[in-house]
């Protein structure tokens, strides 16, 4: 538990510092928070000082961090949903549905163009062409919904017409995307399908 508390303190300090620096250069705090997470991850901290990283973030602590992050994410999105103007959302439903459809179809088509070349290099052995192509299409079309919601909240746009429409577009697109992703994982027969995380696959803000 001590290691978890120390790790949480380091994470909080890093993200707060990153958010503060991002605001200084005119960016949203969430940009600095994401950069802070990258710095603490295996790409930077774990690569250059692996012993310190393993001591600060042992594998045994990952379950605790994952549980806490999931609870925090649920509460955050719940609060975002409570602040939405549902009357405004109803008035903008046609625009939102059209925009969300296009935001899914365009990257879906791009995934089709890239799938064959990427399949040769990245497809696991025994995975058919259709499941891999479907998986890549969907992975490219899913949005970073929590990141978008965080940006709108920081900018004070979550209650505006633009913010409400953007959140609705992302929600509708993600709903269809994750349903299709579940289908693709089922076709692949992936044993770890239930543990797939939206925040890890979703890197494209709407």
The confidence score (pLDDT) of residue 202 equals: 42
The confidence score (pLDDT) of residue 21 equals: 93
My answer on whether 17 and 39 are in the same domain is yes
- Domain with 47, as residue range(s), is 2-82
My answer on whether 101 and 58 are in the same domain is no
In 3D, which of 202, 206, 166 has the Cα closest to residue 181?
202
The confidence score (pLDDT) of residue 17 equals: 93
C-alpha to C-alpha distance for 5 and 170, rounded to whole angstroms: 34
pTM: 0.61
The confidence score (pLDDT) of residue 193 equals: 43
Last residue of a domain, one of 82, 98, 115: 82
Task: Convert the pLDDT of each residue in 136-167 to its tens digit.
Answer: 777 777 777 778 888 887 777 777 778 878 88
My answer on whether 93 and 191 are in the same domain is yes
My answer on whether 126 and 26 are in the same domain is no
The confidence score (pLDDT) of residue 13 equals: 92
My answer on whether 67 and 148 are in the same domain is no
**Torsion angles phi and psi, residue 190, rounded to 5:** -70, 125
The confidence score (pLDDT) of residue 127 equals: 66
- First CA to last CA distance, the chain: 37
Residue 206 belongs to a domain: no
**Residues of the chain below pLDDT 50:** 190-206
In 3D, which of 151, 181, 173 has the Cα closest to residue 98?
173
Residue 185 belongs to a domain: yes
Number of domains in the chain: 2
């Amino acid at each position: 538990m001590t290691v978890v508390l120390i790790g949480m303190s380091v994470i909080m300090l890093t993200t707060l510092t990153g958010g503060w620096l991002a605001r200084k250069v005119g960016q949203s705090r969430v940009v600095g928070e994401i950069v802070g997470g990258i710095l603490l991850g295996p790409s930077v901290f774990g690569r250059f000082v692996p012993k310190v990283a393993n001591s600060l973030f042992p594998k045994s602590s990952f379950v605790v961090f994952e549980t806490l992050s999931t609870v925090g994410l649920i509460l955050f999105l719940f609060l975002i949903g409570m602040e939405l103007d549902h009357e405004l959302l109803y008035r903008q439903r046609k625009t939102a549905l059209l925009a969300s459809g296009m935001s899914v179809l365009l990257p879906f088509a791009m995934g089709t163009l890239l799938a064959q070349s990427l399949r040769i290099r990245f497809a696991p052995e025994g995975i058919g062409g259709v499941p891999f192509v479907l998986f890549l299409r969907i992975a490219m079309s899913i949005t970073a919904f929590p990141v978008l919601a965080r940006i709108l909240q920081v900018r004070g746009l979550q209650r505006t017409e633009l913010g409400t429409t953007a959140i609705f577009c992302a929600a509708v697109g993600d709903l269809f995307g994750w349903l299709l992703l579940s289908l693709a994982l089922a076709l692949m027969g992936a044993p770890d399908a239930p543990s797939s995380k939206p925040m890890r696959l979703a890197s494209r803000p709407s």
